[in-house]
Amino acid sequence: MGPLAAAQLLALISLTVALDNGLLKTPPMGWMAWERFRCDVDCKDDPKNCISEVLFRDIADRLAEDGWKELGYEYVIIDDCWMSMQRDEHGRLQPEPSRFPGGIAKLARYIHDRELKLGIYADMGTHTCMGFPGTTLDKIEIDAQTFASWGVDYLKFDGCSSNPVEQMLGYPLMSKALNATGRPIAYSCSWPVYVGGLPPNVNYSLLGDICHLWRNYNDIQDSWDSVQDIIEWYSNNQDYLQPAAGPGRWNDPDMLIIGNFGLSVDQARSQMALWAIMAAPLIMSNDLRNLGNSARTILQNKVAIAINQDPLGIQGRRLLTEKTHIEVYWRPLSRSASAIVFLSRRTDMPYLYRTSLAKLNYDAGNYEAYDVFNGLTVTGLNATTEFTFSINPSGVVMWYVYPEQQSKQTEKSHYQHEKASHHTVL
């Protein structure tokens, strides 16, 4: 089936599907098991880290007790490998009883009791990516009903072991089936990544009527190379991807790996900054029970989170790629504000970067800027004022910029919850 025929078929299906249940007007925030815990099912020798109800209860406790929930991190999402290898006698998916002895409904109640939400994983196809039972076309309705009956709040629907025609039918049908349950369930689709992530194979305007968010590109790995590769792909294809995003429909560059083993502190700040600029879901995959202070500080940065969660919901763009291997990213925000990220792709030493707001297409006028990671406010900033700062290798400088005449008190109450120091731009 060619791209045109596929688009026509999808258009017909989507007329009856539109997923408008009011969810995810800002990108979802929370925690997901996959990148950090993968498919560890060895609960005999690794009981603390295996995919089991113990792990998800532990994570829910940490989100509820360690200040995450108040910042918006609300989803606890189970990924692959939770299932029994057999459906039950009624054809329903069921959790592996040795690892989820209380069942998913009981786990959902535990999570809901902490004012959090439960996410779960299924796969469009004969099997999940790790070989557990998949959701074939004839099982979509019963699986949606099962998840709703358990109290699930979020579904990640993967695409291993299916073909493009099955995906074209199955992803809209699951959207329709979730709607029909009457339970508001956020719907994350992996469809685009299985067909190359770009038009004409992906019709993003139609996809936005079917899913709340979607994976466009490869899985993230625990390395700076992986983060850079994702940033590069999204930036190179931003003309296709950026217009697709908005309230209730988000591009998903995959999980935050901050707090694991592969990123330095500077690189962790870079991932947080770029995910905020891209209006990406802030879904952590780490061990919140053993998280270092630097990772916690980055992930709980209130201004970075506020930029990510800006109600306009406009995804940012890469503005410049300099010969010096400095890149500049920009995102418009509500109330005439904006965010800028200066990213160093260098590997040698800190680099002194010199520019002005006018060079970044800002209108004439006076501005102030809050440095997201060092907590300083830059004043005396005319659009034509040249400024210089140092950017560490693979690090960022991230600014929240607003017109000087704007009410500082209003801005600080919205974006800053702590008193910041001040200095005048050089």
Give the per-residue pLDDT at 421: 43
Q: Is the dihedral of CA 45, 46, 52, 57 positive or negative?
A: positive
- Regarding whether 324 and 302 lie in a shared domain, the answer is no
- Regarding whether 257 and 112 lie in a shared domain, the answer is yes
**Domain termination residue (choose one: 308, 336, 361):** 308
The CATH number covering residue 46 comes to 3.20.20.70
Given 3-state DSSP classes, what are the helix, strand and coil percentages for the chain, each rounded to the nearest 5? 35, 20, 45
Residue 11 pLDDT more than 80?
no
Residue 423 pLDDT more than 60?
no
Residue 426 pLDDT more than 50?
no
- Regarding whether 192 and 300 lie in a shared domain, the answer is yes
- Regarding whether 344 and 296 lie in a shared domain, the answer is no
pLDDT digits (tens, 9 = 90+) for 383-400: 999 999 999 999 999 999
What amino acid occupies position 38? R
Give the per-residue pLDDT at 279: 98
310 is catalytic: no
Q: Which of 143, 153, 158, 310 is catalytic?
A: 158
Given the structure tokens 């770029």, which residue do they identify?
274
Instruction: Grade residue 361 by pLDDT with cuts at 50, 70 and 90.
Output: very high
Residue 407 pLDDT more than 70?
no
CA pair distance 272, 280, nearest whole angstrom = 10
Total number of domains constituting the chain: 2
Residue 18 pLDDT more than 80?
no
- Regarding whether 347 and 235 lie in a shared domain, the answer is no
Give the per-residue pLDDT at 19: 74
The mean per-residue pLDDT over the stretch 299-317 comes to: 98
Least confident of 109-113, 260-264, 268-272, 411-415: 411-415
- Regarding whether 150 and 124 lie in a shared domain, the answer is yes
**Domain termination residue (choose one: 274, 308, 342):** 308
**Domain termination residue (choose one: 308, 335, 350):** 308
Long-range CB pairs of 418-422, under 8 A, 24+ apart, other chains included: 418/302, 418/375, 420/370, 420/375, 420/376, 420/377, 421/375, 421/376, 421/377, 422/376, 422/377, 422/379
Could you tell me the residue range of the domain that residue 391 belongs to? 317-424
Cis (ω within 30 of 0) for the bond into 253? Answer: no
Instruction: Grade residue 1 by pLDDT with cuts at 50, 70 and 90.
Output: low
Residue 422 pLDDT more than 50?
no
Instruction: Grade residue 405 by pLDDT with cuts at 50, 70 and 90.
Output: confident
- Regarding whether 335 and 196 lie in a shared domain, the answer is no
- Regarding whether 72 and 43 lie in a shared domain, the answer is yes
Give the per-residue pLDDT at 406: 66
CA pair distance 392, 394, nearest whole angstrom = 6
Instruction: Grade residue 287 by pLDDT with cuts at 50, 70 and 90.
Output: very high
Give the per-residue pLDDT at 10: 53
Contact call for residues 263 and 257 (beta carbons, < 8 A):
yes
40 is catalytic: no
pLDDT digits (tens, 9 = 90+) for 49-70: 999 999 999 999 999 999 999 9
- Regarding whether 235 and 109 lie in a shared domain, the answer is yes
Contact call for residues 183 and 220 (beta carbons, < 8 A):
no
Question: Residue 400 pairs with which residues in a beta bridge?
Answer: 339, 370
Buried b (16+ CB within 10 A) or exposed e, 292-318: eeebbebbebebbbbbbbbeebbbbbb
Residue 4 pLDDT more than 80?
no
Instruction: Grade residue 20 by pLDDT with cuts at 50, 70 and 90.
Output: confident
Please give the share of the chain, as a percent, with pLDDT higher than 90.
90
* Phi/psi-derived region of residue 151, left when phi > 0, alpha when psi is between -120 and 50, beta in every other case: left
Instruction: Grade residue 420 by pLDDT with cuts at 50, 70 and 90.
Output: very low
Please tell me whether residue 141 adopts helix, strand or coil conformation.
Answer: helix
Side-chain-side CA neighbours of residue 178 (13 Å)? 30
Give the per-residue pLDDT at 349: 98
The mean per-residue pLDDT over the stretch 297-318 comes to: 98
- Regarding whether 401 and 291 lie in a shared domain, the answer is no
Residue 183 pLDDT more than 80?
yes
Give the per-residue pLDDT at 9: 57
Give the per-residue pLDDT at 425: 46
The CATH number covering residue 385 comes to 2.60.40.1180
Give the per-residue pLDDT at 21: 85
Closest listed residue to residue 317, CA positions, set 383, 237, 426, 415: 237
Q: Which two tokens stand for residue 204?
A: 């993003």
Range list of β-strands (E), 166-245:
186-189, 213-215
* Whole-prediction pTM: 0.94
- Regarding whether 380 and 275 lie in a shared domain, the answer is no
Mean predicted lDDT score pLDDT of the chain: 93
Give the per-residue pLDDT at 273: 99
- Regarding whether 348 and 302 lie in a shared domain, the answer is no
Distance of CA 91 to the CA centre of its chain: 32
